[in-house]
Structure 1
Amino acid sequence: MNLTLIFDLDGTLIDSAPDLHAASNRMLAREDRPSLSLETVRSFIGNGIPTLVDRVMAASDLDKGERDRLIAEFVTDYNARATELTRPYPGVVDALRKFRDLGLRLAICTNKPVGPTETILDDLGLAEFFSAIVGGDSFPERKPDPRGVLSLAQELGGSQALYIGDSEVDAETALRAKLPFFLFTEGYRKTPAEDLQHARSFDDFNVLPRLVEEFAPVSAEEA
């Protein structure tokens, strides 16, 4: 089967919460506000940096009139230090290497802008695995709008595409795109896994190649 795998980034391939947490607290320190816990900031992740900043502002009683300035400062600060603490989840590199060796097409659809996404992938040694990226600035609407994943599926071709993510946003994206969804349960999801529509779920990237093979077998001729 000519298969395309489309991945979310934050909370799926990489645990970026520590760097987003650090950037949030640096912003709060600049505004003379107390720090927030990692778990609190983690719960704010999933809809892009502007929404993250909105949620940090609301939790810290910051003036809404300062929103544009705070977002701009956050983006500049975060992008400069985005991989100080961020790492791929265990098993990610091995799984991506296995998929590449099988000849599968790999892509990323994230709400993070393309530029920072490319930088992070380069810094973490992941860029070589992906043929295409759609970011939060690629189209007028971000996920859960399905245009991004559908454009990747069309661009990379193949007879089937799967979307792999960790969150409510990802589950809705796959549903709206009418693509099978594989749920990584160790990311930033707030909703119980059983309440999200998915074809498969997994908590360890070491088992993902087997799950993909069981769901959409790749023949020796195609590999």
Structure 2
Amino acid sequence: MNAPEPLALSGIRAAIIDLDGTMVHTAPDFLVAINRMRSDLGLHALDIETITRFVGKGTENLMRKVLSVDYAADEVEAHFERALASYHAHYIAINGQYSTLYPEVHEGLAALRDKGLRLACVTNKPMAFAVPLLEKTGLHGYFDLVYGGDSLPKKKPDPLPLLTVCEEFGLAPEQVVAIGDSSNDAQAARAAGCKVLNVPYGYNHGESIHNVDSDGIVPTLLEAAHCISV
């Protein structure tokens, strides 16, 4: 299914915004931490394109995908806990050092806030990684709420995180738009009853964002703000 050009979305009171691949280009951080973990396990380094395809469904899924390059399913589980502990240690040590903000992220968040929208960041990244990254990039102050992949019993593409934000904000889902770079964001939004906009520059598991069911594709967060009205 081809995503339509972005529409004018009216009656929107809040925006739920993804982190990795939407606001921050974090793949270079993943590259460093994963390959340091793989070195600990005696495995060869992976390239950034391979790693990027694995991003989006949480750290546990990322580790299993990374290990599956070398191991069968039962062997993946045998190495999983050691790999996860190593990855956590390496990621915390370099979190944000190799990452960069995408264009017009600060401007877009400021424009959304100036329109009176409440903002939440919902990411599948663990909170121990997400909050320091938001603080390091100067983004944390824009958000009323931040939920990570370990904040709730389920993570995107399950709608629970988005529905929880709607409840916290006291808003109906149709008054909320989710903005993200992948099918995870779109599927969660559709299931929750929220509107959804996608950006074209993120990760989306190596697949085209144009095949994702959304209300439109916006080149930047600032452009997203331009097509949203309360």
TM over 0.5: yes
Aligned to 1:147, which of 152, 160, 168?
160
Structure 2 match to 1:187: 202
Could you give the per-residue CA deviations for residues 100-120 of structure 1, whole angstroms, max 9, x where no partner exists?
222210001111122321111
Please list, as runs of the form range in 1=range in 2, the aligned pairs for 1:172-211 lying within 5 A after superposition: 172-189=187-204, 190-211=206-227
Structure-2 separation of matches of 1:23 and 1:60: 17
Q: CA deviation at 1:75?
A: 1.2
Alignment length, in residue pairs?
214
Q: CA deviation at 1:158?
A: 4.2
Structure-2 separation of matches of 1:59 and 1:67: 13
Q: Residue type of the partner of 1:119?
A: P
Q: CA deviation at 1:80?
A: 2.1
Could you give the per-residue CA deviations for residues 158-181 of structure 1, whole angstroms, max 9, x where no partner exists?
461001111111111111111111
Q: Verify: 1:88 aligned to 2:101, yes or no.
A: yes
For the 8 Å contact 1:4–1:157, the answer to whether it is kept is no
Structure 2 match to 1:112: 125
- Pairwise CA RMSD: 1.6
Q: Verify: 1:169 aligned to 2:187, yes or no.
A: no
Could you give the per-residue CA deviations for residues 134-188 of structure 1, whole angstroms, max 9, x where no partner exists?
1111111111111111111121234610011111111111111111110111101
Structure-1 separation of matches of 2:18 and 2:93: 22
Structure-1 separation of matches of 2:209 and 2:80: 33
Structure-2 separation of matches of 1:19 and 1:191: 21
Structure-1 separation of matches of 2:218 and 2:181: 10
Structure-2 separation of matches of 1:154 and 1:166: 24
For the 8 Å contact 2:40–2:86, the answer to whether it is kept is no
Structure-1 separation of matches of 2:151 and 2:21: 20
Q: Secondary structure at the match of 2:217?
A: strand
Please, which moves more after superposition, 76-85 or 156-165?
156-165
Structure-1 separation of matches of 2:124 and 2:220: 23
Could you give the per-residue CA deviations for residues 71-118 of structure 1, whole angstroms, max 9, x where no partner exists?
122112102211011122110011111222222100011111223211
Structure 1 match to 2:44: 34
Report the TM-score, using the length of structure 1 for normalisation: 0.90
Q: Residue type of the partner of 2:99?
A: T
Give the number of the structure with larger relative contact order, counting CA–CA contacts within 8 Å between residues 6 or more apart: 2
Structure 2 match to 1:20: 30
Structure-1 separation of matches of 2:161 and 2:222: 27
Structure 2 match to 1:221: none
Q: Any unmatched runs of 5+ in structure 2?
A: 1-10
Q: Secondary structure at the match of 1:201?
A: coil
Report the TM-score, using the length of structure 2 for normalisation: 0.88
Q: Any unmatched runs of 5+ in structure 1?
A: 219-223
Structure-2 separation of matches of 1:142 and 1:206: 26
